[in-house]
Amino acid sequence: MTKYMISFPGSAMHVTEEELPAVSKAAHSVIREAQEAGVYVFGGGVNESAGTVLVSGDGTVTSGTYPETRLMDGGFTVLDLPTRDAALEWAAKIATACRCDQELREFQYDPEA
């Protein structure tokens, strides 16, 4: 099995305040489906109010992120799936629930993770 991250930036989600409860309900339904299928690892939204910091090996903390890194916000889900095709199917379900396209990334295999 391979772990996949399915995610979207906050700016991709264009829903009104009135639509938000329905989107939340649909997204939680897909998460419950993934949990019941035994493929859910973890997920959530990035806390945008908590500032990003860089931490160096000596413990120095610097506000911000790498200059070449784009802002990371929005939501993500990590699923453990048998194939990329399965990941594409789950990404489509999440895209439908969240009403926005999803990015799909595959984690490299690490035998100690």
Model confidence over 48-96: pLDDT tens digits? 888 888 898 998 999 888 877 777 778 899 999 999 999 999 999 999 9
**Cα distance between residue 56 and residue 98, in whole Å:** 36
**Cα distance between residue 33 and residue 21, in whole Å:** 18
Q: Which of 15-19, 50-54, 100-104 has the lowest mean pLDDT?
A: 50-54
Work out the pLDDT band at 37, boundaries 50, 70, 90.
very high
**Cα distance between residue 73 and residue 9, in whole Å:** 5
